[in-house]
Amino acid sequence: MTIKDLIQVYDFNEVMSVVKDMFPGTEKYRKPLQKAYEILERLQPVSSKKKIVYQLIEDPDSGEAFMGAPDDSFRSSWDVLLGKTIIQEKDIDLTDIEILANSLVNLCFLGKYPKEFEEAHQQLVKG
């Protein structure tokens, strides 16, 4: 399964509903996230041997563990990220739409986005 596979299954409104649950207060970012989703729907994925691995990650500041993928997994161009295989370690219990919601946010903040997303990205980082 890849991010592109998941985008073909869910529409933006379904994903945004999960984003809001996972990241409270994100409704104000609806427009830039929707712009990102529309771009991702059109982009063709580039095949990649690298994977996005969802695992338990310990927060060094609080010592608490959360489910997610390492930030480095998302430091690539969007077309390459769309083609990476997604893996869940045994102790991870995320649904496909939760993975897609998390991936969308990570793509927007960590990925190398296309020029057409620049204005929307500025809206995201200004908060």
Distances 91 to 38, 65, 67, 69, 70 between C-alpha atoms, Å? 32, 12, 9, 13, 16
Instruction: Using the predicted structure, report yes or no on whether residue 43 has a pLDDT greater than 80.
Output: yes
Residues 6+ apart with CB under 8 A from 123: 29, 31, 32
Residue type (1 letter), 121 = H
Mean pLDDT for the stretch of residues 6-28: 96
pLDDT value of residue 106 = 96
Task: Give the model's confidence band at 50: pLDDT under 50 very low, under 70 low, under 90 confident, else very high.
Answer: very high
